[in-house]
Amino acid sequence: MKPARQRTAILISGRGSNMASLVAAARHQDYPAEIALVLSNRPDAAGLDYAREHHIATAAVDHKIYAGREAFESVLQTMLETHRIDLICLAGFMRLLTASFTQRWQGRMLNIHPALLPSYKGLHTHERALADGVKIHGCTVHYVVPE
């Protein structure tokens, strides 16, 4: 018997190019994850439209309307629980998460970062790498930890 596919939420902040790749991969029956939710901290994120077009549940939790990170993350957590999420993938999600939230999801939250960490943390990684003339550049997929 095949193991059940993990119910996965993809968290985005923009157009969702990495999300689109994950959605395409998840169409294959041997892929270990089912994309059950696409959630954004920006209600106008173009990736939400893409997810809806592919019949994936979407949610927007606008971080700007909450008093702080904890209040915002409390609503995120409620959305993740409502959709019975097993695994989170941060794919262009442009918010830092608190230690408490990352510990709650320890070993079940992945991040896609467009650089070979520890080089080029933060934004504009490709532009900075090109400006520096580096010979090797790539991406890092890692489990999220409070550090």
Q: How far is CA 76 from CA 29, 52, 96, 118, 122, in A?
A: 28, 19, 13, 28, 22
The token duo for 9 is 């939420």
Query: Residues 49, 51, 55, 59: is their CA dihedral positive or negative?
Result: negative
Contact 10, 35 (CB under 8 A): yes
Burial classification of residue 29, based on how many CB atoms lie within 10 Å of its CB (0-12 exposed, 13-18 middle, 19 or more buried)? exposed
Name residue, tokens 């230690």: 99
Active site positions, annotated: 113
